[in-house]
Amino acid sequence: MNVYLVGGAVRDELIGREIKEKDWVVVGSTEEDLLAKRFKKINSQFPVFLHPETKEEYALARKEKKVSPGHQGFKFIFDPSVTIEEDLKRRDFTMNAIAKKDNGELIDPFAGVADINNKLIKHVSEFFTEDPLRVFRCARFAATLKSFGFKVSDETINLMQTKFSKDEFLSLSAERVWVETQKALISEHPEEYFSVLNKADCLHYFFDLSDIKEVIDLIEHIKKKYVGDVERWAAVNSLSIDQKKTNELLKIPKKFLKLSDKIQECIRLFTQKNSDSEILDSLYKMSFFRESSSTRKAMEICDDLIKVKGSSLSLEPSLILNIADKLEESKIEINRSLKDMKDEDKKSKLLELRLNIIRKTRTNL
């Protein structure tokens, strides 16, 4: 039985990047052997185990064969005769297809070390085209490794442009695509993710974005101020031709939807003419009176987005923020005014009091 350190840990050590976790491949062994050594199996479909002491993941070496379309259309072969070179051959990129022995010797059958030295993200073999999710992984690595000088090789770009079909992309689960997107969003260069997907001619399958230059320019302007994935996604999604379509294609998690919806309403509020009652309606739509903090965050982001895009304003964001301040400052006074009223009269009185505050604030400014 031989054990090798593989994948991201080897890659990141060679790049000079922090190693976040270690994965190991076991060659010449069986599931029964590992269970006898008190390893704990953690996957019902694959022989992947947790080490009894370190809790790091150990997997039996495997080969794979494409048997049907899509990301999951593979048959896996787990056998003590599978070599480390065969296991590495099924991996996506040369930089991820390097193994390390206990003595530090590297097993590098696909010149991954040379590609790392040349700062290239390059596919291992023609088997790359059997899994369309690898296109999104490629784009994500381009985003996370750009700060180290990496770029996608021309050969891999060409392969992504020519060897994947529409049906293959549409067979992907939205959740898996979103996982790659979310990882890219929190990287130093999320714009590179969208740029590579655009070059691969598959951006449109999951993102309803018309102008990639506008997307890249927007991300480059806002990424230093907003480092969270929720805020960055809301900014990108503000450029969607049809936000609802994008949300459905990617099955966006609820916490991301809420901020995007608030920003969309903010953009409408800032760029269209609104009466006092329409301003109040907009604040209700954004749940301002229940979620003041997140609504203010949406207003702040929206202000920045409008500046980047150069959109004309009908209402100054500073005015809406001032109105928000006045409404919050008046909470105690409003509650005092409503205290002795009948419940059926409170709603109309509350609207009246809030409208008066909006009207006075606009008049004073």
Nearest CA among 67, 68, 48, 64 for reference residue 56 = 48
Highest CATH level, class, for 1-117: alpha beta
The sign of the torsion formed by the CA atoms of 306, 312, 318, 322 equals negative
CA gap 107, 17 in Å, rounded: 20
pTM score, whole prediction = 0.90
Rg (CA), the chain: 27
Give percent of the chain with pLDDT exceeding 90.
84
d(CA 365, CA 152): 53
Element (H, E) at 216: helix 212-222
H or E segment at 66? Answer: strand 62-66
Task: Parse the chain into domains and list their residue ranges.
Answer: 1-117, 262-298+312-364
Q: What pLDDT digit, counting tens, does each position of 60-111 carry?
A: 999 987 667 665 667 888 889 999 999 999 999 999 999 999 999 999 999 9
Average confidence (pLDDT) over 297-319: 91
Here the tokens at position 58 are: 């150990």
Mean pLDDT score, 11-36: 96
pLDDT band at 44 (very low <50, low <70, confident <90, very high): confident
Q: Per residue in 112-165, pLDDT tens?
A: 999 999 999 999 998 899 899 999 999 999 999 999 999 999 999 999 999 998
Neighbours of 13 (CB within 10 A): 15
